[in-house]
Amino acid sequence: MKYEQLANDIIKHVGGTENVNNVVHCVTRLRFQLKEEDRADTETLKNMDGVVTVTQSGGQYQVVIGNHVPDVYQAVVEVGGFQKQDTQEQDDQSDKKVFDKLIDIISGIFAPILGVLAASGMIKGFNAFFNAIGLYTEESGTYQILQAVGDGLFHFFPIFLGMTAMKKFNGNQLVGMAIGAALTYPALTGLTEGDPQYTLFSGTLFESPIHITFLGIPVILMTYSSSVIPIILSTFVASRFEGWLKKVIPDVVKTFLVPFFTLLIIAPLTFLVIGPIATWLGTIIGSGTIWVFELSPVLAGFLLGGLWQVFVMFGLHWGLVPIGLNNISVNGSDPILAYISATSLATTGVVLGVMVKTKQKQLKSLSIPAAISSVFGVSEPAIYGITLPLKKPFIITLITSAIGGAVMGLMGTRVYMLGGLGIFGIPSKIGPDGLDMGFWGGMIAMGLNVIVGFLLTYFFGGIGQKDREALGAGGEQKQHASGGDNHDIVSPMPGRALPLSEVPDEAFSTGQLGKGLAVDPSDGVVFAPASGEISVSFPSGHAVGITTDQGAELLIHVGLDTVQLNGDYFESHVKQGDRVEKGQKLIDFDIDNIRQSGYSVVTPVIVTNSGEFDELHLTKEQEIHAGDYLMKVEAPDRA
């Protein structure tokens, strides 16, 4: 590990792992929450190789590292055994909006398992496909073994979700798995055979035969194999109960008494209350979803297919994936995951259209691997590298995907299991009746997406000489990308220009993070001070990094310690990897509310790799407007 020794030294001098409550990172620094800041050896840390400086602000002990802070953070997490949190925004979610919290919880539970879930689905899907075409029968040993491999995870799904959900809820993962195992315990399924003792809620949607009781309390036995909602709700309750137990049980017996009481209370509670309620909830959600989609399958497919890539870009897809999984569990099939399954094939067609149409060699070479990866369902290289920067091809992708989704809605396409992505998702569309109309509708939609995407892009994609400009590729511009010539950097905002020495933050004021200027803004908008690529963009919107076309690495940090606002009063319009042009809007921020929250809005604008340049000429003007000359980078003489 490259930074292992540095990580060890940092942990040692902040007082050791036992003195660390939490550690996260922002754009340039590690942010520790220490139990006792007096135990940290600040002077030693400041003089340590690899550390720029140390600041203490806002209840955080901040070790300033520089641009490579993500790598150092990774080493600190691994060496110290801390729980990884990618950014400061994950540190405290108490002020997040309810919807944002929900999306964060869902993604945290399902993201770790999606890979193996898709792999299992692919095996199960191909097994159904080979059976459908007569390669072997359901009675053959080959079918039985492959079915066990593919269906095993789905049958015992609550065990896997018990682990990931308990991890997300900061509980004991093994306890979560134990609850999931109890829900799928094979012996319980046989208890529903024969006549019930009596029936609860007769004549209603919730009619439930009672076969057994627990301490005299009736148990509504449900089928929890492949279920989603019951285990998530159960582990949430278990994590909270476990947290309370840790406070009241003596340390000497916590190791076994905390899981003992958690399982003893929560597992029966799940069978008695949580499980049935969650199952009914899942049934209602599943039935409601199907009812909505059946109102107009074509319109539903058009909208869902057309908006899917937008959902993915903003992380909103995490709100739909669990609904799709729940539908498969409750109804045996799902339209949501079907309608979006051809989106990556639309991207393939669009990228092929770009490749054929463009005369730019580098763009052609980028298109080949992007098209191949999209065929197999991985379309991010194509989106962020080609279609989104070129704009029109991205819009064409959305239109084409909408057409494909509408076709599948018309043909009644469903998925019957979670399968792979792209063409690997084909077997998941095989239903109990084999290769039916819905299956062929999915095949037609995939083929149409490739063809229509290609034709629309070729004839209407706007591919021409501007593609070089949009991607910043090729020609003389690309030759300077390593830092080869002089260029001006303009002010990203209106306000008063200040020397860095007047910034009340040692990391900036001493120039240790790079040379530059600061702006005390008069308006809450940040514009791109130069053309280039977004190299750093935090969800909080408080800072952004740009690598200019000439190789200067710029950092614009709106305010001081504003990362602690957790995104409040900031709205970012870009993300990492985006291509931006000089003058393009990057961030909106609310000056008044930030100041009222106790934070300075003075914004350092620095060249973090200023050591690679001969000179940095700074403006002498005090009052400046957005777009006015701020500084000039003078490259070394290569002669």
Q: Do the beta carbons of residue 586 and residue 579 sit within 8 Å?
A: no
Task: Tell me which residue has tokens 């501007």.
Answer: 466
Q: Hey, which residues are catalytic here?
A: 26
- Rounded to an integer, what distance in angstroms lies between the CA atom of residue 477 and that of residue 283? 58
58 phi-psi bin (left φ>0, alpha ψ -120 to 50, beta other): left
Q: Cα 429 vs. chain centroid, distance in angstroms?
A: 27
Rounded to the nearest 10°, the torsion over CA 598, 600, 601, 606 is -150
299: its two tokens: 């319109």
- Rounded to an integer, what distance in angstroms lies between the CA atom of residue 488 and that of residue 554? 12
Query: Across-strand partners of 580?
Result: 532
243: its two tokens: 């947290």
Helix (H, G, I), strand (E, B) or coil at 488: strand
Q: Cα 163 vs. chain centroid, distance in angstroms?
A: 19
Task: Tell me which residue has tokens 């067609």.
Answer: 349
Query: Across-strand partners of 546?
Result: 534, 554
* Helix (H) or strand (E) segment spanning residue 43: helix 42-46
* Helix (H) or strand (E) segment spanning residue 448: helix 437-460
Q: Is 445 exposed, middle or buried (0-12, 13-18, 19+ CB in 10 A)?
A: buried
Sign of CA dihedral 96, 99, 101, 104: negative
Contacts of 493 (CB under 8 A, 6+ apart): 519, 521, 522, 523, 525, 526, 527, 603, 626
Q: What is the CA radius of gyration of the chain?
A: 28
Contacts of 262 (CB under 8 A, 6+ apart): 172, 175, 238, 241, 242, 245
Task: Tell me which residue has tokens 């710029």.
Answer: 554
CA nearest 610: which of 541, 479, 508? Answer: 508
Q: Is 383 exposed, middle or buried (0-12, 13-18, 19+ CB in 10 A)?
A: buried
Contacts of 37 (CB under 8 A, 6+ apart): 56, 61
Phi, psi of 146 (to 5 degrees): -65, -35
- Rounded to an integer, what distance in angstroms lies between the CA atom of residue 618 and that of residue 100? 41
Residue-level length of the chain: 639
463: its two tokens: 């591919």
Helix (H, G, I), strand (E, B) or coil at 330: helix
- Residue environment code for 263-272, b if the CB has 16+ CB neighbours within 10 A, otherwise e: beebbbbbbb
What type of residue sits at position 548?
A: T
603 phi-psi bin (left φ>0, alpha ψ -120 to 50, beta other): beta
First-to-last alpha carbon distance for the chain, in angstroms, is 38
